[in-house]
Amino acid sequence: MPPHHSFLVLRTEEVMIVRGLTSVARVGGVATCVVVGLLTVVGLRPALAIDVKLFPEEAQKALEAGRTPMEKANSPEEVKKILQHASMVTRVGADPEKDSCGASAILRTKRYRLEAFGRQEAAESKKRKTDVRMPAEFIQKVVDMSNMEIEVQLCGDDEYFAEGALIELQQGSKKIKPIDIAAADRGRKNEGSGPAYRSRFTARFAYEKFDPNAASVFVINLQDGKEVRIPADFSKVK
């Protein structure tokens, strides 16, 4: 059995791997043990609403939508452009290319994760010079996910400004609390205009608790009393 591999994908802002999951991938018809990086890169397909449920054929189309552009990429520059574009598809709030310190959130939907897997399949296939595909049971775990994770990115005046941040999702008069909130990263120096530091944190919301088609707002309350609001029109995200 060949050694495990860890996968890294470069984004415009950072190198990110959220979690490594050991699985069995089909490589040219032979089961090979690999560590599959659950990559935090968003998908490329246009969308009309967040998909709470996906049929098997839809999941395969999502994998293909992520895989095909990466298969066609022939240089690091082309890969970078694909990932830059992908990073915007399920992002709500400020565009970091236009407002480096504007608050935004990446919605890690089921399609987002599957398209990221597709890009990983393409990258590993090129590396190994044979087709690499995720196993069906691993894909099913994504399809069956009951929560949507979001990553919030924002700026503040000191490196610990995001510690203890609270978040809720508002849809009209309805206020949805997250299942959990991860500890915020220690702030990094902001090289652009605006506050001195940038940070991020993740939170998970149960699909059954919110309307996947509704115009929404993520409301973040910081420990210094400041409130940050991120508009999110779910009808435009998958």
pLDDT digits (tens, 9 = 90+) for 26-35: 334 333 333 3
For residues 110-125, b (16+ Cβ closer than 10 Å) or e, as one string? bbbbbbbbbbbbbbbb
At residue 39, does pLDDT exceed 90?
Answer: no
Q: Percent of the chain scored above 70 by pLDDT? A: 80
* Cβ–Cβ < 8 Å for 179, 206: yes
Residue whose entry in the numeric block shows the structure tokens 């398209």: 115
Q: HEC states along 26-54?
A: EECCEEEEEEEEECCCCCCCCCCCCCCCC
What's the rounded Cα separation, in Å, for the pair 123 and 128? 9
Residue type, 117: F
90 residue type, one letter: T
Name the band, by pLDDT with cuts 50, 70 and 90, for residue 85: confident
Q: Which residue has the tokens 């991020």?
A: 200
**C-alpha dist (Å) from residue 36 to 9, 21, 22, 142, 181:** 12, 5, 6, 13, 24
**Full-model pTM:** 0.77
Confidence of residue 5 (pLDDT cuts 50, 70, 90): very low
pLDDT in tens, 96-141: 888 989 999 999 999 999 999 999 999 999 999 999 998 999 899 9
Higher local confidence (pLDDT), 39 or 155 = 155
Cα–Cα distance, 219 to 225 (Å, whole number): 12
State pLDDT tens for residues 177-204. Answer: 999 999 999 999 988 788 999 999 999 9
- Please say whether the dihedral angle defined by the alpha carbons of residues 223, 88, 47 and 67, taken in this order, is positive or negative: negative
Q: Which long-range contacts (CB under 8 A, 24 or more apart) does 161-164 make?
A: 161/187, 161/195, 161/197, 161/199, 161/222, 161/223, 161/224, 162/187, 162/199, 162/200, 162/201, 162/222, 163/223, 164/222, 164/223
Residue from 66, 72, 64, 63 nearest 44 by CA: 66
Rounded distance, CA 147 to CA 110, Å?
Answer: 9
Strands (E), 76-206: 91-93, 104-108, 132-133, 147-156, 166-171, 174-176, 180-181, 188-189, 197-206
What is the chain's percent helix, strand, coil content, to nearest 5? 25, 30, 40
> In this model, does residue 48 exceed pLDDT 80?
no
